[in-house]
Amino acid sequence: MKSGVCDIFVMALFIFADLLVVQHVTVVVWIVTIASYCASLSSALSALVGAARTLQAVARDGIMPLRWFAPGSGPGDEPRPALIVTWVLVQACLFIPSLDIIANYASMFYLMSFCVVNLAGFMLSVTGTANFRPSWKYFGWPTSLAGTLISLGIMFYLDYVAAGASVVAMLVVFLYVHWRAPVVNWGHISQALIYHQVRKYLLRLDPRKEHLKFWRPAILLAVASPRGSQYLIDFCNNLKKGGLFVLSNVHVGRDRSALQV
């Protein structure tokens, strides 16, 4: 979270700064050129390996049909299939006449990742999730919200066409994952939001404002065996009409085997 916010502010400064200021103030210009090539090569290699490992992780999660990228090789679990495909895609992009087009979309996806991370931090903060304990001392929901808005603002300031295409691509991936509904237990932020809203509105209920026309039945059903009382459970479920239905099963005894239904 800390690095994402810092990167956003650095990119914002680059928009209004002179990117060739080092060459203007240095004594030997060619040293800056060599350093730029070395930094670009290091960033390219790290991005190539990082993208391959990300593709391998997505394939192993099973949220998309990419299982052929999941295998790893060697003691370091190297993602060789994902690395080969990533290298082929990079080489194909080099045949594009203008690399500025690729740079725009690469910047959009980086900013999109910063935006989503800050948005997740904002939602976890406002919902009061117990296990969310950020270590950055300056973290708070205002900084997360600011990071989200700054990321979106920079995206549309740089190139509104590429920004719109990136947002559409993210929505397509999100809708595909939501429609496919993979069986993974990661914990969804939507559940924290629903819990937060339900708790807030339950606390706002005022018994003094209850009225007969808004009454709904609240049923407490105690059965000896839930599996043997299916018809009674279905009857009460149909009878509640949008009300509260609580099903209980009481076990008497100290033996743990009594808890097996």
pLDDT, position 18: 61
Residue 169 has pLDDT above 80, yes or no: yes
State mean pLDDT over 137-156.
87
- ∠201-204-207 over CA atoms, to 5°? 125
Q: How confident is the model at residue 29 (pLDDT cuts 50, 70, 90)?
A: confident
Residue 16: per-residue pLDDT: 54
| CA distance readout (Å), 54 to 59, 69, 225 | 9, 10, 48
Is residue 181 predicted with pLDDT exceeding 80? no
Asked if the model's pLDDT at residue 250 lies above 60, the reply is yes
Kindly give, in sequence order, each residue whose CB lies less than 8 Å from that of residue 119, ignoring residues fewer than 6 positions away: 144, 148
pTM for this prediction: 0.61
Q: For the CA atoms of 168, 169, 170, 176, what is the dihedral angle to 10 degrees?
A: 110
Greatest mean pLDDT range, 14-18, 51-55, 63-67, 203-207: 51-55
Q: Which residue has the higher pLDDT, 252 or 88?
A: 88
How many beta carbons lie within 10 A of that of residue 69, not counting itself?
Answer: 22
- pLDDT score for 23: 67
For the chain, the domains span 2-191, 207-259
> What would the mean pLDDT of 199-214 be, rounded to a whole number?
76
Residue 149 — pLDDT band, cuts 50, 70, 90? very high
DSSP 175-224: HHHHHH-----S--HHHHHHHHHHHHHHHT--GGG--GGG---EEEEE-S
pLDDT class of 61 with cuts at 50, 70, 90: confident
Residue 186: pLDDT band by 50, 70, 90 thresholds?
low
Q: What tens digit of pLDDT does each residue of 94-130 get?
A: 787 777 777 888 888 888 888 888 888 888 888 777 7
Which two tokens mark 56? 């391998």
Phi-psi label, residue 181: left if phi above 0, alpha if psi -120 to 50, beta otherwise: left
Nearest CA to 80 out of 88, 91, 109 is that of 88
Q: What angle do CA 102, 104, 109 make, to 5 degrees?
A: 95
What average pLDDT does the chain have? 78
pLDDT confidence tier of residue 240, bands split at 50, 70 and 90: confident
* Residues in a beta bridge with 221: 247
Is the pLDDT reported for residue 24 higher than 80? Answer: no
Indicate if the pLDDT at residue 43 is higher than 70: yes
Over residues 154-164, mean pLDDT: 86
Q: DSSP label at 27?
A: S
DSSP string computed for 154-180: HHHHH-HHHHHHHHHHHHHHHHHHHHH
